[in-house]
Amino acid sequence: MRLELSEDERGLLHQMLESALVKLDVEIERTDSLDFKDKLKRRRDVMQRLFEKASAGVGTRG
């Protein structure tokens, strides 16, 4: 799948993912349920990969 975004869209996506990752880390730390914590960690891993892909495009023309 290929997703083409403007520079503004990539920048916003990058900021949104960065903010969500910070909030998710806090939620992981506060969660007592090990099963739920594992689910959140898997979600964080996927989100981190998306963040890295979005970061690669920030500041470049596409």
Domain boundaries, the chain: 21-56
- pLDDT exceeds cutoff 80 at 61: no
- pLDDT, residue 24, reads 97
Distance CA 14, CA 21 (A): 11
Distance CA 55, CA 52 (A): 5
The residue among 4 and 34 whose pLDDT is bigger is 34
pLDDT digits 0-9 by tens, 8-49: 998 899 999 999 999 999 999 999 999 999 999 999 999 999
Report the half-sphere exposure of 21 (CA within 13 A, side-chain side): 15
Q: Which of 36, 35, 18 is nearest to 27 (CA)?
A: 36
